[in-house]
Amino acid sequence: MLRYGLTHPTMLAALAAAGHGSRVLISDGHYPHTTGAHPAAERVYLNLSPDRLLVTEVLAALTDAIPIEAAAVMTPPSDVSAGSATAAEPEIFAEFRTALPGITLDGLDRFAFYDAARGPDTALVVATGDRRTYANLLLTIGVRGDADR
């Protein structure tokens, strides 16, 4: 039996086949899972029902299983109708920062995020039923350190 929380066999196989620099997309229920990621990426559909599972629940299992060196988020567009140059940051970003201490969230607009997720280095796509908007996270797998042995 595994000693960490991630036990999903398809996810474990995809992570075992991935390596340093490979990416993992954890997407909310609004994300275009079929067209918004590289066709060769392994897809795992955990979107059983609305808000099951949540992106943050999947993230917790992944942070226990793999080293993460970088993270990108999909940022909302600027609110030009209200005259604001910047959009309000989604609340989920604070949860991502808490779960990923020491990692800066790289903000990408919607289409840049899709382009990044469609890259050939995306090894795994995990679809969730999370209804929070902009709850999409593209993780880059890091290198296991000496403390991880």
Phi, psi of 36 (to 5 degrees): -95, 20
pTM for this predicted structure? 0.91
CA quadruple 14, 112, 32, 127: dihedral, nearest 10: 40
**Dihedral sign, Cα of residue 120, residue 126, residue 129, residue 132:** negative
Helix (H) or strand (E) holding 110: helix 110-117
Domains and CATH numbers, the chain: 9-143 (3.40.1650.10)
Give the model's pLDDT for residue 102. 96
Phi, psi of 137 (to 5 degrees): -140, 125
Peptide bond before residue 100 is cis, with ω within 30 degrees of 0: no
Give the model's pLDDT for residue 148. 59
Give the model's pLDDT for residue 1. 56
Average pLDDT of adjacent 10-residue blocks, the chain of 149 residues:
84 96 97 95 96 96 96 87 66 98 97 98 98 97 77
Token pair belonging to 131: 């209804």
